[in-house]
Copies of this chain bind each other. A is one copy, B any other.
Amino acid sequence: MDGVRIGLVGFGTVGRSFYRLVMGQREGFARKLGARIEIPYVSVRDASRPRPVESDTRVVSGWREILDDPSIPIVVELVGGAEAPLPLVREALARGKHVITANKAMLSAHGKELFALADAHGVELKFEAAVCGGIPIIKVLRESLLGNRITSIVGIVNGTTNYILTRMAEEHLSFAEALTQAQRKGFAEADPTLDINGGDAAQKIGLLASLAFGCWVLPADILCEGITTVEAKDIDFCLASGFVIKLVAQARTVGGAPLVTVYPALVPLDHPLAGVRNEFNAVLVEADYLGPSVYEGRGAGGNPTASSVASDLGDLVKSILSHQVPRPFGTPLATACSSPVDGMESKYYFHFVTANRPGIWALVTSVCAETGINIESVHQKWEDKSKPSDLYVLVDEANEAQVHRAFGRITGAEGIFPESHFFRVLESPAGGER
């Protein structure tokens, strides 16, 4: 039986899970792929510390030995970080080795260069694990939906923020309390910035948009808002109105150009994404022939991510054994001219924090009237008349430009406090009666 040898770089949570998976599944791989999978090298920063590896695996410092070994056709990069593994990946591809990565930050920042490099050297850069951990969304978009035109992708693609928002909703926690719980349970990092500001979700949806629309979406073109403005009060009011608040990542085309966004949104309770709880991720894809389809699973963690790395490994092993010519990423990816965010339309939810006195309703309703925004409902709530009160406004379809104009005028008026904010409302899927 043929053997296929892998160089594994990075032995953190995902690296260890992947190593354990391969060692535990040697027989399964042999049966399913017709090949023995070997991991002769594991590269770590400090090779002097003992590591739980088998006797035929050597722990090495750095990745020089792996790249210099011509018997290694596949490098698995599980180091993480947008910049640190870049020299490794560049050189591996340039030397004709396939690379598997779980690194969305690197792909988001340098994907265009790296995929072109892989194409130029006749190798593949695989990245199923880079988006939504264990959910096979990359394979679905590239292979299963091959015959479809994809019209829209809507996803919950960040487990940390979904965990925080779920705990806030179900245990009536504040944002800070839910974040602490997420960190204690390992669902949020010590520095959660990139998760809670939407940056991680933006990297993922940018990659999905590139695949779906066949053009490269620049990070700077993605409208990205985080969840730090979401209050327990918002969650309670919205739930009573039939919505849960989720960090929603979307990619669609408007007038032929991609529009990619990440923001907290009101998700109708009967929407397929409304029931996606805690650290789970899910992606709803709308396509012309298939219609709507949903893919849900664990979006992070060592084992789910290792599952996706193993899927990429299986594909590469099959193509290596059959001397298959690699399939390019989507030849050639032009950088997209994104559709302007200003034209984006949806229903909106405003939460104004206001002085508790007459005149506020008149202000809000007249500005809405003047900017052409149609109000659906207004509710005012307060606990203590001497303190600011909360005014919740749900409005019908409007566009971003209108809403920014109205919001700016209202929050610029006297008696409206700066904690005021607005969120958008997610539409129900177009696929009809699900």
- The segment out of A48-56, A108-116, A300-308 that lies at the interface is A300-308
A293→B289 contact, CB < 8 A: no
Note all chain B residues with C-beta closer than 8 A to A22: 147
Note all chain B residues with C-beta closer than 8 A to A293: 134-135, 295-298
What per-residue 1/0 map shows which CB atoms of A118-153 lie under 8 Å from chain B? 000000000010000011100110011111110000
What per-residue 1/0 map shows which CB atoms of A284-324 lie under 8 Å from chain B? 00011111111111100001101111110111001101111
| Residues 159 to 193 of chain A near chain B (Cβ within 8 Å) | none
| Residues 2 to 32 of chain A near chain B (Cβ within 8 Å) | 17, 21-22, 25, 28-29, 31-32
Q: Is A220 engaged at the interface, CB distance under 8 Å to the other chain?
A: no
Tell me the bound Cα distance from A103 to B282 in angstroms.
Answer: 30
- Name the one of B270, B287, B303, B324 contacting A290, with C-beta atoms under 8 angstroms: B303
Tell me the bound Cα distance from A290 to B433 in angstroms.
Answer: 30
- The segment out of A79-87, A198-206, A271-279 that lies at the interface is A271-279
Tell me the bound Cα distance from A297 to B432 in angstroms.
Answer: 12
Given contacts A272-B296, A330-B32, A433-B278, contact A307 B324 (CB under 8 A): no
CB distance from A424 to the nearest CB of B (A): 23
B294→A298 contact, CB < 8 A: no
Query: Interface size class for chain A?
Result: 35 or more
Q: Is A331 engaged at the interface, CB distance under 8 Å to the other chain?
A: yes
Note all chain B residues with C-beta closer than 8 A to A240: none
Q: How many copies does the complex hold?
A: 2
Note all chain B residues with C-beta closer than 8 A to A31: 214, 330-331
CB distance from A18 to the nearest CB of B (A): 8
Note all chain B residues with C-beta closer than 8 A to A311: 143-147
Q: Is A280 engaged at the interface, CB distance under 8 Å to the other chain?
A: yes
Tell me the bound Cα distance from A323 to B325 in angstroms.
Answer: 9
Q: Is A434 engaged at the interface, CB distance under 8 Å to the other chain?
A: yes
- Name the one of B21, B34, B289 contacting A310, with C-beta atoms under 8 angstroms: B289
B307→A297 contact, CB < 8 A: no
CB distance from A295 to the nearest CB of B (A): 6
Q: Is A327 engaged at the interface, CB distance under 8 Å to the other chain?
A: yes
Given contacts A298-B290, A324-B324, contact A314 B278 (CB under 8 A): no
Note all chain B residues with C-beta closer than 8 A to A297: 290-294
CB distance from A140 to the nearest CB of B (A): 6
CB distance from A188 to the nearest CB of B (A): 16
Note all chain B residues with C-beta closer than 8 A to A136: 140, 143-145
Tell me the bound Cα distance from A28 to B148 in angstroms.
Answer: 9
Residues of A within 8 A of B (CB): 17, 21-22, 25, 28-29, 31-34, 128, 134-136, 139-140, 143-149, 214, 270, 272, 275, 277-278, 280, 282, 287-298, 303-304, 306-311, 313-315, 318-319, 321-325, 327, 330-331, 431, 433-434
**25 examples of A-B residue contacts, CB within 8 angstroms:** A31-B214, A32-B146, A33-B146, A128-B144, A134-B290, A134-B293, A136-B144, A136-B145, A140-B140, A143-B311, A144-B308, A147-B313, A147-B314, A148-B307, A148-B310, A277-B433, A287-B307, A289-B304, A289-B310, A290-B297, A295-B295, A318-B327, A322-B323, A322-B324, A322-B325
Apart from the given pairs A296-B296, A322-B323, 7 other A-B contacts in the complex at a CB distance below 8 Å: A22-B147, A139-B144, A147-B313, A272-B275, A293-B296, A294-B294, A323-B323
